[in-house]
Amino acid sequence: MNLEHSKFSLTIICVQLALLILFILFSCYKSDADASDVKHSTIPAYGGATPKQNSISHYDSLFQDVHVMIFIGFGFLMTFLRKYGYSAVGYNMLIASIAIQWSIICRGIFHHDKNGLIPVDITSLINGDFAAAAVLITFGAVLGVTSPFQLVSICLIEVFLYALNEYIGIELLKAIDVGGSMFIHTFGAYFGLALSLVLRKNSESESKNEGASYTSDIFAMVGTVFLWMFWPSFNGAMAEGDDQHRAVINTVLSLSASCICTFAISAIVSAENKFNMVHIQNATLAGGVAVGAVADLMLRPYGALIIGSLAGLLSTVGYTYVTPFLQSKLNLHDTCGVNNLHGMPGIMSGLAGAVMAVIASETDYGIGLYKQYPAMAPEMNSSHLQELRKDLTSIEPGDGRTAGQQALFQLLALGVTLCIAIIGGAVTGLIMRLPLFGQVPDAHLFDDSKLWEVPEEEENVETHKGETNQSFEMKSGKE
């Protein structure tokens, strides 16, 4: 019996049992999903008030789009390795399933009701997908060099740190990042890079199996197309009203610009001026990451195109020059190049968020400025707040921040994210080096056959090809 598989199976059984117990003890339905909630008795036909519209009608289609991105987009994007497709799609599905459940519990530590229970509704599932996205970005950095047991352990550690960082950034620093460019993409990328650097330290990560085939690259391109199509929902899922409208517009324009720019730059920097499929699979998506933190702001359509173009350029150049540099100088192995797709564009988006905060004013947003930036709203009992509430009663008191102060808090949130991600990833890498977790031997890197039942016909095809080529060479020699 395979001891590694036995240990892994026991681990995920224990993880699911632990999650089940936590949900039994601490979770409940939020009012929109709770049949016993008093609002269900307010039916007009019986003289009650008109029930409030259920949030499922607003969020369900957005949730499904984000869900497709997590399980199909991310999963198939990582199938480019010719001998690691089963693991890429399979582990993606497993890790995302664990991350969604665990993130609900972890976020509940910081967001719970007065009874200490964690209310669960459709937005909990969207935020669960966001947490899964951060972990899957990390997965991309160590794709092919980690065991499933290590991946589950990494997921459990990272999701908690992700929830902590999100709480600090959004609740304490009150930074704005509607598309998660800082809290999801930057965090996941640099957690993964620090993890990879420590985990594979002094280890030879190169392998003959680390390569793509024509077919595997096509499958990966399927993931790219799904991500490209549904990214507007990812960036706009948690926005409201005209903010959400802008998020969709800005994301589509930024993605289209990054796609065009990627094709142009790829042909310039690649050998023989040919398109590089690695660039097309990844850098075409960089516009979605780079616009995330500012997607719902008054960026203007031309601003979205500028950000997308710069992101496509930055990401393509990153794959061409930055990744080889980090590999040669730091021995930093980044299988999917998450630094180029998620890391650098995420930082770019964080910086753009600070710039947009500096120039934010009532001229562009009207009094909606204080809904867009709640911390910039006047403080409680101030005369300014009373004046604003004459026109918009729903404005909540804020911290009275100036635009410059809000920009500094945006930068602070980015810095905190990088610190927690890098330190957390490095410490997690040290933990994963312990004998308990078991390193993947170099001979088994980027190879499904050690842990998956691979169809025999695949081996037969390879053998048949070899015999055919040998026969042809002998025949040619005789003639």
Domain definitions of the chain by residue range: 7-358+402-438
* pLDDT tens profile 92-106: 999 999 999 999 999
Dihedral pair phi/psi, residue 202, rounded to 5°: 60, 20
Which one is predicted more confidently, 41 or 447? 447
Q: Is the pLDDT of residue 206 over 80?
A: no
Q: Are 253 and 239 in contact (CB under 8 A)?
A: no
pLDDT at 108: 95
Q: Are 109 and 115 in contact (CB under 8 A)?
A: no
d(CA 371, CA 377): 8
Report the Cα–Cα distance between both ends of the chain, in Å, rounded.
Answer: 52
Dihedral pair phi/psi, residue 29, rounded to 5°: -75, 140
* pTM more than 0.85: yes
According to CATH, the topology of domain 7-358+402-438 is Ammonium transporter fold (1.10.3430)
Which one is predicted more confidently, 445 or 408? 408
Average pLDDT over residues 52-63: 88
* pLDDT tens profile 306-357: 999 999 999 999 999 999 999 999 999 999 999 999 999 999 999 999 999 9
- In 3D space, the residue among 78, 97, 94 whose CA is nearest the CA of residue 140 turns out to be 78
Q: Is the pLDDT of residue 380 over 90?
A: no
Question: pLDDT tier at 7 (50, 70, 90 boundaries)?
Answer: confident
The pairs formed by 367-373 with CB atoms below 8 angstroms and a separation of 24 or more are 367/391, 367/392, 367/395, 368/392, 370/395, 370/398, 371/395, 372/176, 372/243, 372/296, 372/297, 373/176, 373/398, 373/401, 373/406
Q: Are 189 and 162 in contact (CB under 8 A)?
A: no
